[in-house]
Amino acid sequence: MSGSCCAKGDEVMILACSGGSNVGQLTNQAAVELTREGFGKMFCLAGIGGGLKGFVKSAQGTPRVVVLDGCPVGCAKAILEREEIPLKSYIVVTDLGIEKNKDRQLAVNDEDLAKVKVAGKAAASLNNETSRPSCCGSGKSC
């Protein structure tokens, strides 16, 4: 969040499953790097999963939310569905041709990481609503 003004209403919220597998960790690292690069901001999926009202309300009220799941189990997707948060931009890492392994090394491959980041950006762009609110928000979150 910027220190000089309200958070921008067109900010991209990035939610990663951050699961305990190579593909889960790919979502986490992709979310971290996309945040560092200024594409969007990683947000606490755990807060939404815990049903904390501020987190849920923020996700419901943010027009651009990118959800990154590692595998078809779809934990992040399930959390959003339970909290009735629309799933607009959604990526499943295994759908990108990246195999989930069970070696528990949780290693993140640079090539795979780049692929996830590109897919995340593309998904957000495809679902970029025309009614993006301006700085300091004019969205319809209430």
Partner 1 sequence: MEIKVLGPGCPKCHEAEKIVREVVAETGVDASVVKVSDFQQIAQMGVFATPAVAVNGEVKCVGKVPTKAEIAAWINR
Extended beta strands in the chain, E state:
12-16, 41-42, 64-69, 89-92
Q: Mask: binding to partner 1, 60-99, rule CB under 8 A, as x and -?
A: xxx-------------------------------------
Report the alpha-carbon distance of residue 129 to residue 131 in Å, rounded.
Answer: 5
| DSSP string of 40-76, one letter each residue | -EE--HHHHHTT-HHHHHHHHH-SEEEEEESSTT-HH
Site size toward partner 1, by CB under 8 A? 35
Q: Is 38 in the site for partner 1 (CB under 8 A)?
A: no
The only residue of 38, 54, 105, 131 in contact with partner 1, by rule CB under 8 A: 54
Which residue in 71, 74, 70 sits closest to 82, CA to CA?
Answer: 74
Residue number with CB closer to partner 1 (44 or 75): 44
Query: Which of these segments, 30-38, 56-64, 73-81, 97-105, binds partner 1 (CB under 8 A)?
Result: 56-64
137 binds partner 1 (CB under 8 A): yes
Residue among 74 and 137 whose Cβ is closer to partner 1: 137
Q: What DSSP designation does 104 have? A: S
